[in-house]
Amino acid sequence: MQQKKIKELVNGAMMLALFGILVLFDTYTGSMLNVILFMLMPLPLLVYGLKNGLKASVILWICEMILALFLGLPETIFYALVAGLVSFVMIHGSRRHWSSQRLFLATLVMMIIAELASMTLLAGLFGYDIEREYASLVAYFPALANWVRLVIPLTAFVLGLMETYVLLNLAEVVCLRLQLSFVEHFHFVYLHFSKRSGLVLLLGCLGFLCPFDLAVFVGIICYILLGIQGLSFLCLWAIFAQKRYAMLVFLLSLFIPVLNLYLVVFGLVDIFSEKRYKIMYNKR
């Protein structure tokens, strides 16, 4: 029993030291790489939590916050706080054997909330006037008057989506190397919405027709998710067909406003048909 406690203390000290290195690196670089470090900060606490449990990881998180208060910048303290909460979600989900989709969704929600908080609350703390920026954008681009207020939530969604994907894949690689049990298969080619979810996304795309900003925002998100589903389907086909350069073409087309419509069509085909399973079965 005593040997187990000593092992927990040693592991906790090692993870705290790794976190301290990240905080010091962020401080001495002036937070220029805080986006990258934000995706690395949850990993030490995640590794410790998977080894020793959720309750033990709370103590380590408190120590990390104290270390961030002494060594980090104000923005770093905020990211340390969010990284701890994200780690708790990942630890709880992994120990409860959540599906990869459920863990991805829970982590995505946390990331979006963190991005929204950093763009509004944290920006206001440093004297950044969002309303003034809105007015200046409309003055330069009058055509964006009806869309400018969607910039921040859409940016938070896109950034949260990318950060969640990178973070979970990093966590999977680290846990695989350390032989820790973690939810697997976060590669986006495994993404496959159910028919019920696909129907909800299809109905959500009708938000483009509504005059309310919230409805338009929901419509854009549903459109993006259907496009990612189509990209997942086409990349899966490219992998089995050994078309390496096709994946790059499909990925680039996601960011072309009109051309990405075909990705939405393929996404709907993938959701409401069995084409995905036929490709995998015929190849095998």
Encode the chain (284 residues) as per-residue pLDDT tens digits: 677 777 778 888 888 888 888 888 888 887 777 777 888 888 999 998 888 888 888 888 999 899 888 888 877 888 888 888 999 998 888 888 887 778 888 888 888 888 888 777 766 666 666 666 666 666 666 655 566 667 777 778 888 888 888 888 888 888 888 888 887 666 777 778 888 888 888 888 887 777 777 777 788 888 888 888 888 888 888 888 887 778 778 878 777 777 778 888 888 888 888 777 777 666 55
Spatial distance between the Cα atoms of 75 and 33, rounded to a whole number of angstroms: 12
Spatial distance between the Cα atoms of 117 and 57, rounded to a whole number of angstroms: 24
pLDDT at position 211, please? 72
Q: Taking each helix axis as running N to C, give the angle between helix 54-71 and helix 42-52, from 0 to 180 degrees, rounded to the nearest 10.
A: 150
Spatial distance between the Cα atoms of 97 and 158, rounded to a whole number of angstroms: 27
pLDDT at position 131, please? 63
pLDDT at position 264, please? 87
Name 160's Cβ contacts closer than 8 Å, sequence gap at least 6.
108, 111, 112, 114, 115
pLDDT at position 142, please? 65
Spatial distance between the Cα atoms of 152 and 175, rounded to a whole number of angstroms: 33
Given 3-state DSSP classes, what are the helix, strand and coil percentages for the chain, each rounded to the nearest 5?
A: 80, 0, 20
pLDDT at position 134, please? 65
Put simply, whether the predicted model's pTM sits higher than 0.85 gets the answer no
pLDDT at position 281, please? 67
Q: What number of other Cβ atoms are within 10 A of residue 131's Cβ?
A: 7
Name 41's Cβ contacts closer than 8 Å, sequence gap at least 6.
19, 22, 79, 80, 83
